């Protein structure tokens, strides 16, 4: 078995195939979906670069056996996720040891030179949790992410108050408004009539091979007097091979929250996924977002816990 550092031109198709196989074998999102990989490589990487941070995809590592991927390290900001093919569970301890040494640059260093190293693990993967505990990691009880799924047999609508419209991205072509609305949803303190967000992450996403089947959804305030009329925005990555979709990111601008716009946005995305033959729609949920997604009809497929260890 050998380790190689991920290279886009050489390894992207192979890593996608590995993740699809993991999904086919388990029928859960315990391993990353190809859609999440693409979001990291294109949107997140561009955003990290704009912010002067290390690019997470520079720290993707693959393990091969007989020229087939058996495991990989997938960084996501300041935590890592490890995906291991069935039958290779025994190499997980060595993957953790490797990541502690080689993924350190992704983690913030304290004044005393130590770092808090984070590993994300599905609650279904007991052997990983056991290994981390034996290796000195502790689970942080207040930090959890959920893989949430929408029951596609549920009936949904995009009912909105008068003066508001649900649109797909191709029906609303002002890309600057769409991206700005997304950023303002996460950073409402930036709100101003003339706010403009850097467009690099928005444009970079178009290089994804999944982009042609993926789509945007927006809710528009038709009575907005000035500035940006987009109330809520989401992007839906579609992978027709696994018949899955990942709705990421999802954002509603602060002044439009708690009015049903986010739910209408998600339901519109689900309706289109049904027409595309998608069988499962996923979101990544954490913190206060859990209540929002549950209210919109999503339920938890599995939970992801975060384990940490202080490294010198």
pLDDT, position 22? 96
pLDDT band of residue 45 (cuts 50, 70, 90) is: very high
Break the chain into its structural domains and give their ranges: 2-145+304-311, 164-278
Cβ distance 234 to 249 under 8 Å? Answer: yes
Instruction: Give the C-alpha separation, 51 to 60, whole Å.
Output: 20
pLDDT, tens only, 117-135: 999 999 999 999 999 999 9
Q: Would you say residue 226 has pLDDT above 90? A: no
pLDDT, position 116? 96
pLDDT, position 176? 93
pLDDT, position 194? 75
Q: For residue 10, give every residue at least 6 positions away whose Cβ sits within 8 Å of its Cβ, in sequence order, or none.
A: none
Q: Would you say residue 61 has pLDDT above 90? A: yes
Looking at 3.40.50.80, 3.40.630.30, 3.90.930.12, 3.30.420.40, the CATH number of the domain 164-278 comes to 3.40.630.30
Cβ distance 3 to 256 under 8 Å? Answer: no
pLDDT, position 161? 93
Class of domain 2-145+304-311: alpha beta
pLDDT, position 35? 98
């Amino acid at each position: 078995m050998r380790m190689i550092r991920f290279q886009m031109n050489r390894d992207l198709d192979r890593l996608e195939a590995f993740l699809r196989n993991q999904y086919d074998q388990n029928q859960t999102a315990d391993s990353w979906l190809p859609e999440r990989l693409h979001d990291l490589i294109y949107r997140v990487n561009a955003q990290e670069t704009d912010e002067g941070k290390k690019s997470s995809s520079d720290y993707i590592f693959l393990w091969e056996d007989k020229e087939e991927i058996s495991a990989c390290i997938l960084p996501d900001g300041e935590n890592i996720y490890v995906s291991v093919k069935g039958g290779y569970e025994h190499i997980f301890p060595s993957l953790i040891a490797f990541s502690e040494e080689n993924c350190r640059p992704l983690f913030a260093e304290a004044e005393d030179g130590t770092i808090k190293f984070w590993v994300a693990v599905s609650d279904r993967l007991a052997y990983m949790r056991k290994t981390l505990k034996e290796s000195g990691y502790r689970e942080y009880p207040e930090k959890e992410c959920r893989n949430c799924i929408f029951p596609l047999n549920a009936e949904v609508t995009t009912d909105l108050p008068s003066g508001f419209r649900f649109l797909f991205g191709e029906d609303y072509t002002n890309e600057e408004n769409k991206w700005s609305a997304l950023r303002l949803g996460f950073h409402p303190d930036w709100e101003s009539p003339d706010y403009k967000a850097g467009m690099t992450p928005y444009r970079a996403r178009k290089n994804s091979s999944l982009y042609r089947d993926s789509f945007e959804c927006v809710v528009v305030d038709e009575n907005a007097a000035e500035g940006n009329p987009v109330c809520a925005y989401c992007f839906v990555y579609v992978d027709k091979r696994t018949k899955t979709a990942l709705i990421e990111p999802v954002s509603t601008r602060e002044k439009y929250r708690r009015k049903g716009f986010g739910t209408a946005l998600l339901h519109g995305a689900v309706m289109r996924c049904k027409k595309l033959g998608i069988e499962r729609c996923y979101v990544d949920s954490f913190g206060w977002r859990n209540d929002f997604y549950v209210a919109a009809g999503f339920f938890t497929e599995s939970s992801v816990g975060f384990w940490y260890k202080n490294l010198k």
